[in-house]
Chains A and B, each alone.
Chain A
Amino acid sequence: KAGVTQTPRYLIKTRGQQVTLSCSPISGHRSVSWYQQTPGQGLQFLFEYFSETQRNKGNFPGRFSGRQFSNSRSEMNVSTLELGDSALYLCASSLSPTENYGYTFGSGTRLTVV
């Protein structure tokens, strides 16, 4: 079966712009989470969605937002981009949030802010 699909794979944006990243989970997976990976901070939790509802949110400013659609696909948006937002953004899906079987990760979207 298809894995977690993230689009686009690479993005270059200018400071001040906004960006939307997309994630399609594994078929049947209803929980989608987003992580930011940087060399300095490592892997940091952004947010988690289940049944179109945000269940958890990490310690990121309000410029970072997300949503989940009825087909479980998810998008995350970053507004007013800053240089420090340059990172690999990983999406992960799992069956549900009530049992922690572990995630399946996508390949990520590498965002570069110039």
Chain B
Amino acid sequence: AQRVTQPEKLLSVFKGAPVELKCNYSYSGSPELFWYVQYSRQRLQLLLRHISRESIKGFTADLNKGETSFHLKKPFAQEEDSAMYYCALGKAAGNKLTFGGGTRVLVKP
């Protein structure tokens, strides 16, 4: 069965400090992993996909198949990064996503 675990419900960091959101998954096949973000009063939106290996808004995430992790990192947090972040696991083909419980990030000035 697919499972996604985000161990931190809340991360509080100061502006300019690094931030790392942890995501661990369990899946026996070839995973597709995503990070979604939900800013206050906005819809859930895709932040990045592991297959594109891109950096969005300064965030990066590396898939570590050995550790079954897909942690999200940003070297210097900004106040506008305050939001709810969800890690999600999908199949290599097919659009069913399994979401983690989410991590709320609060960036303090």
Q: A42-B102, A90-B44 are in contact. Are A103 and B97 (CB under 8 A)?
A: yes
Contact-residue size bin, chain A (C-beta under 8 Å from the other chain): 20 to 34
Q: How far is the CA of A12 from the CA of B100 in the complex (A)?
A: 28
Are the CB atoms of A33 and B46 closer together than 8 Å?
Answer: no
Which residues between 53 and 104 of chain B lie within 8 Å of chain A, taking CB atoms? 86, 90-102
CB of B45 within 8 Å of the partner chain? yes
Are the CB atoms of B96 and A56 closer together than 8 Å?
Answer: yes
Q: A42-B99, A42-B102, A43-B86 are in contact. Are A103 and B46 (CB under 8 A)?
A: yes
The residue from B43, B44, B94 contacting A100, defined by CB atoms under 8 A apart: B94
| Residues of chain A contacted by B44 (CB below 8 angstroms) | 90, 105
- Interfacial residues, chain A to chain B (CB-CB below 8 A): 3, 31, 33, 35, 42-45, 48, 55-56, 58, 90, 94, 97-108
- Interfacial residues, chain B to chain A (CB-CB below 8 A): 32, 34, 36, 43-46, 49, 86, 90-102
